[in-house]
């Protein structure tokens, strides 16, 4: 156990976050997402499981350590609702609140159609599967840069 690191950040996830560079994406998903089949295409190559935690808590823990990209208008991408692409679900609102609070600014979130999202997810650095029951709890987070002299804590 290390001081100052949320218990949700297991050793594998910490290693993934440390290995990612600026512009790399990490996929946070619910239990319904085809995590294993997507993950085999990623840099990490396998699913990082964060058992017993939902999307909101896992995202908050990750975002205490990982900055979001400030060089793009929407450093976060979510899957849009099939048949109703403009619909915002409660998980989308809750996730937006976590993003805005973590970054201390409004964070842009882009929505992609289901299969476009899957294609983008295959290019992610890693897949993190939570125990969130979903649906539509699928988010790509683009890593930013920690400025010199700035700490993540």
Query: d(Cα 139, Cα 108) in Å, to the nearest integer?
Result: 12
Instruction: Order across the sheet with 25-29: list the strands.
Output: 47-50, 126-130, 25-29, 138-142, 76-79, 109-112
Residue 41 known to be catalytic: no
Residue 22 known to be catalytic: yes
Residue 25 known to be catalytic: no
Contact (CB, 8 A) for 9 and 65: yes
73, with CB counted inside 10 A (0-12, 13-18, 19+), is exposed
Catalytic choice (24, 30, 69, 132): 69
Which residues neighbour 102 within 8 Å (Cβ) at sequence distance 6 or greater?
Answer: 59, 60, 63, 64, 68
Query: d(Cα 48, Cα 18) in Å, to the nearest integer?
Result: 14
Question: Any idea which residues carry the catalytic annotation?
Answer: 22, 69, 118
């Amino acid at each position: 156990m290390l001081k100052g690191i949320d218990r949700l950040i297991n050793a594998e996830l910490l290693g993934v976050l440390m290995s990612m560079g600026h512009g790399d994406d990490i996929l946070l998903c619910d239990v319904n997402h085809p995590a294993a089949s997507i993950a085999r295409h990623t840099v990490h190559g396998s699913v990082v499981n964060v058992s017993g935690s939902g999307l909101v808590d896992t995202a908050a823990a990750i975002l205490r350590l990982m900055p979001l990209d400030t060089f793009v208008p929407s450093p976060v991408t979510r899957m849009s609702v099939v048949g109703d692409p403009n619909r915002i679900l409660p998980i989308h609102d809750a996730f937006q609140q976590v993003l805005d609070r973590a970054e201390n600014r409004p964070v842009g979130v882009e929505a992609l159609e289901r299969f476009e999202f899957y294609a983008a997810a295959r290019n992610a650095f890693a897949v993190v599967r939570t125990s969130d029951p979903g649906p539509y709890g699928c988010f790509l987070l683009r890593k930013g840069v920690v400025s010199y002299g700035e700490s993540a804590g």
